[in-house]
Amino acid sequence: MRYTKIIFWALVLFGVGILMAAFVAAERDSFATKQVKHYLAIQRLGEIARIKHSHSALHTSYARQARSDGNYAAEQLFRTIAFSERVQCRACERAIHNLGGEVAKPIALEPKRATTADNIAAAISLKHRHRTTKSYPLILRSIASKNRYVTRIMVWCDANDTHQIALLKAAATTADTIATKSFEVCPTCGYISQQEPSTPICPQCRTAATAFVRF
């Protein structure tokens, strides 16, 4: 009877040890998986942040050219888009810092001198190309990784690109003498509003409309 109890408790302790080892291994694998997901999320956000930073500098250059051409409506639109791109860049950077990463901004190169009409066409083409080759694939990967936080930011950026393309296309079909319009930009997600907000919050991120930056 005594040996039976010893064997019984030995088996119990052995079973507990196996369960503990399995638990530790699972936790280690779970931690490693989370680390990999964070690393991939940081890389994707970093790519978007670098692109947005470059696009902001590019549109600032386009705004200077529009002013030189006397197209003040285009200048205002370009400056509005440049600010929106900076806001999106900062949103990506905040997310990266929250995930424990850092961002290195690239040096933005000045574009070749061209007319404002050419710059509008180039901006439209650039945004279409960015959405097709970068934005869509990164959003799909982020959705597959089930990271809602990162996916939300990327969807904001893509939605803003879509809206900016529409604004640029409208500018391309108007005369240079068109009166300037009033724009407002959400300081959280970069959403561009063409008029006084009809709602008290941003339709994308729900930031209070009173915080919008006017152009």
pLDDT of residue 32: 46
Distances (CA, A) of 137 to 48, 78, 154, 157, 189: 12, 27, 11, 13, 20
pLDDT of residue 126: 93
pLDDT of residue 164: 96
Q: Which residues of the chain have pLDDT under 70?
A: 1-37, 105-111, 175-180, 195-198
pLDDT of residue 25: 46
- pTM over 0.85, yes/no: no
pLDDT of residue 8: 54
pLDDT of residue 29: 41
Q: Which two tokens stand for residue 9?
A: 């408790």
| DSSP state for residue 189 in the 8-state scheme | T
Q: Residue 30: CB partners within 8 Å, gap ≥ 6?
A: none
